[in-house]
Amino acid sequence: MQRPAIDSELPRARGRPRNPEFEARILAAAAQVYGAGGWAGFSLDAVARAAGIGKSTLYARWTSGEDLLSAMIEQRWQGLAKIDTGDLRADLTAFGALVLARYLETGGGVARHLRRDLAGYPELAERIGPVLGALTAQAIAILRRARTRGQLREGVSTALASDMLLSAMETHAGRIAPGEAMSEAAITAYAARVADMLIGGIAA
């Protein structure tokens, strides 16, 4: 499948100082643009307009739509790597809550478009697939730490358990109507319910 023409790649400026708050603003705009129109409607120009900045400022930081989309997704999931409370239920609840909250951002648009676009654009799947793969890796890491603590039954597949956790969050997000809000407390409560059900099947 051919994607509509995207911005030409321009050289990245060297030595430009990074401003985390400014970049967070750009990445938030990128999430809104992608969530609204998916890959077909995503471009550096569109994100620059949404962020209210000049195109040259954006091009100095990212050289292509793939670069920017990858950075946006990485930024959204980076908090998962910090989840390590030493307790399996607390870890699974925190993980599930963050994943569900991210799926619900932009009315669930980012998650819905990613599923379709990764299947339709091989070049995008090649670039973004490993970024999303890190999501599964973080869930598996939580379960492996629980195994080390003796909290998992013998023979439990950490890969399968992580798939079940992620699928539950994605499926629930898909049931929420676009634009419908879900409070932080409700997100955490749902993640805790899923964690309890999962632990019931895998705990030692």
Residues 146-160: pLDDT tens digits?
999 999 988 999 999
Q: Tell whether the model's pLDDT for residue 194 goes beyond 60.
A: yes
The C-alpha atoms of residue 150 and residue 147 are separated, in whole angstroms, by 5
Check residue 168 and give its pLDDT.
Answer: 92
pLDDT band with cut points at 50, 70 and 90 for residue 17: low
State yes or no: pLDDT of 121 exceeds 90: yes
Residue 173 is predicted with a pLDDT of: 83
Separation of alpha carbons 38 and 197, rounded Å: 34
Cα gap 64→60, rounded to integer Å: 10
9 pLDDT more than 50: no
The rounded distance, in Å, linking the Cα atoms of 166 and 100 is 9
Instruction: Note whether 63 and 10 are within 8 A (CB).
Output: yes
> 30: which 2 tokens?
């990128």
pLDDT band at 182 (very low <50, low <70, confident <90, very high): confident
Tell me, what's the pLDDT at 141? Answer: 94
For the chain, what percent of residues have pLDDT higher than 90?
A: 53
Q: Are 96 and 44 in contact, with CB atoms under 8 Å apart?
A: no
Mean of all residue pLDDT scores within the chain:
86
Task: Give which of 12, 121, 119 is closest to 68, Cα–Cα.
Answer: 12
* Higher per-residue pLDDT: 132 or 42: 42
Could you tell me the pLDDT band of residue 178, with boundaries at 50, 70 and 90?
Answer: low
pLDDT of residue 179: 67
Gap between the Cα atoms of 6 and 195, Å rounded = 42
pLDDT of residue 105: 82
Rounded Cα distance, 100 and 180, in Å = 14
Structural domains of the chain, with CATH: 20-71 (1.10.10.60), 77-202 (1.10.357.10)
3-state secondary structure at position 152 = strand
SS3 for 203?
Answer: strand
pLDDT over 80 at 74, yes or no: yes
Q: Give the global pTM.
A: 0.77
The pLDDT, as a whole number, for residue 12 is 42
**Cα-Cα-Cα-Cα dihedral sign, residues 121, 127, 130, 132:** negative
State mean pLDDT over 5-34: 67
> What is the pLDDT at residue 172?
87
Mean pLDDT of all residues in 80-98: 93
